Amino acid sequence: MRAFVHDTAAARVVFAPGAVDRVPDEADRLGAGRVLLIAEGGRPDGEALAEALGPRVVARWSEVVMHVPAPVADRAAQVAMDRRADLLVSLGGGSATGLAKAVALRTGVPILAIPTTYAGSEMTPIWGQTADARKTTGRDPRVLPRVVVYDPRLTLGLPARVAAGSGMNALAHAVEGLYSAGASPVTALLADEAVRALASALPRVVAAPTDLDARGEALYGAWLAGWVLGTAGMGVHHKVCHVLGGTWNLPHADVHSAVLPYAAAFNASAAPEAMARLANALGADPGDAPGALWDLARAVGAATSLAPLGFPADAVALATDLVVAAAPDNPRPVDQTGVTELLHAALRGQRPAATVGIHQASLGGPGHRGGYS
């Protein structure tokens, strides 16, 4: 068995249809009386939450921008300090959670997060922000929410197309958690279950967006996947996505969906056990995990290529330099040739070729390397 260090990043989790009604009690439980409520403007559930929290809300922030521009975080943090907030309540997708984290990083004020997509950021001590067209990420225990409230009902209005991409984003956390440096037997079990839940739920969410059971299972998978990301860490896939998102301002979840099958193919030969495990959780042939990810993305209408997302082919060289310079911890060394191939494959968007299964791979049999078509 592989040696490991298991260092759990954990928040209190309240998960139920209708759980948002418990937020005032959860705030009281934390001893908070001065809430900065962060929710995108125009959200009806934001209005309802503000009403439920009543006089605890000392300020509201509605400017939520993808990839957390640093000046927005600076201004929101100033409001938190001016109003002497003692709790940040964020309601929304990864962008709202991300802004709350950037404020927590600047002020030390704790977070209660209510996620409404499958981004999973609420379960990680990882912050990210963008300045001068570069995304910076880091880890800090202060940004890990103290409480996470998951209410599948809040996700019923998430459009099928957004849900599909967001679900692939969640899947990416679980996939990288199977081979990342911080993987342990526990995170592997969580990742297996996250993959199983997401692969089962996403087609049902897309077919019937108001199916509360399907929404609940997708959110459950997203919770586990976010936990895996926060505990086990990440590899080349997340680094590629951060570079593309931060530098070319591409839509975060769609980029994850378009890159994931090719990142898995990139790592296939270096992480055969993780790939076999992933294939098993996806119900695919042992050597076909990257292809099965592509099939799932296609089946749910999520992105399978970077080209339609606005990533230009002439940007591959710069993107490759940025990814290689960031030197992500990854089972296969991250070099110019490999990343260039990965990005071109993600631009072409064709189904990755299957490789031989783990038994032949571990025997060093022919056809062992992962493949792009």
Ligand X SMILES: NC(=O)c1ccc[n+]([C@@H]2O[C@H](COP(=O)([O-])OP(=O)(O)OC[C@H]3O[C@@H](n4cnc5c(N)ncnc54)[C@H](O)[C@@H]3O)[C@@H](O)[C@H]2O)c1
Q: Given the rule CB under 6 A, which residues bind ligand X?
A: 40, 66-68, 92-96, 98, 116-117, 119-121, 124, 126, 128, 154-155, 157-158, 162, 166, 169, 229, 252-253
Q: Tokens standing for 324?
A: 């290689």
Q: Does residue 359 contact residue 348 with C-beta atoms inside 8 Å?
A: no
**Whole-number Cα distances in Å, 199 to 10, 69, 172, 305:** 24, 32, 12, 19
Q: Measured from the CB of residue 287, what is the shortest distance to ligand X in angstroms?
A: 29
Q: Measured from the CB of residue 139, what is the shortest distance to ligand X in angstroms?
A: 9
**Nearest CB to ligand X, comparing residues 126 and 276:** 126
Q: Measured from the CB of residue 145, what is the shortest distance to ligand X in angstroms?
A: 11
Q: Measured from the CB of residue 288, what is the shortest distance to ligand X in angstroms?
A: 26
CA distance 323 to 339: 8
**Nearest CB to ligand X, comparing residues 126 and 284:** 126
CA distance 352 to 346: 10
Q: Measured from the CB of residue 286, what is the shortest distance to ligand X in angstroms?
A: 29
For residues 285-318, one letter each, b for 16 or more C-beta atoms within 10 angstroms of the residue's C-beta and e for the rest, the string is bbbbbbbbbbbbbeebbbbbbbeebebeeebbee
**Nearest CB to ligand X, comparing residues 231 and 267:** 231
Write the burial class of residue 363 (CB in 10 Å: 0-12 exposed, 13-18 middle, 19+ buried). Answer: exposed
Q: Does residue 163 contact residue 202 with C-beta atoms inside 8 Å?
A: yes
CA distance 100 to 91: 10
**Nearest CB to ligand X, comparing residues 182 and 272:** 182
Q: Tokens standing for 46?
A: 């934001």
Cβ neighbours of residue 261 under 8 Å, at least 6 residues apart?
Answer: 290, 291, 293, 294, 297, 304, 351, 352
Q: Measured from the CB of residue 367, what is the shortest distance to ligand X in angstroms?
A: 34
Scanning the structure block, which residue is given the tokens 């040696």? Answer: 3
Q: Which residues pair with 61 in a beta bridge?
A: 38
Scanning the structure block, which residue is given the tokens 């900065």? Answer: 36
**Nearest CB to ligand X, comparing residues 97 and 267:** 97
Q: Measured from the CB of residue 68, what is the shortest distance to ligand X in angstroms?
A: 6
**Nearest CB to ligand X, comparing residues 176 and 192:** 176
For residues 25-44, one letter each, b for 16 or more C-beta atoms within 10 angstroms of the residue's C-beta and e for the rest, the string is ebbeebebebbbbbbbeebe
- Spatial CA neighbour of 135 closest among 244, 35, 22, 58: 244
Q: Measured from the CB of residue 327, what is the shortest distance to ligand X in angstroms?
A: 19
**Nearest CB to ligand X, comparing residues 23 and 229:** 229
Q: Measured from the CB of residue 243, what is the shortest distance to ligand X in angstroms?
A: 12
**Nearest CB to ligand X, comparing residues 252 and 351:** 252
**Nearest CB to ligand X, comparing residues 96 and 188:** 96
**Nearest CB to ligand X, comparing residues 117 and 355:** 117
Q: Measured from the CB of residue 362, what is the shortest distance to ligand X in angstroms?
A: 33
- Look up residue 164 and give its amino acid: A
Q: What is the DSSP letter of 312?
A: -
3-class SS of residue 373: coil
Cβ neighbours of residue 140 under 8 Å, at least 6 residues apart?
Answer: 105, 125, 127
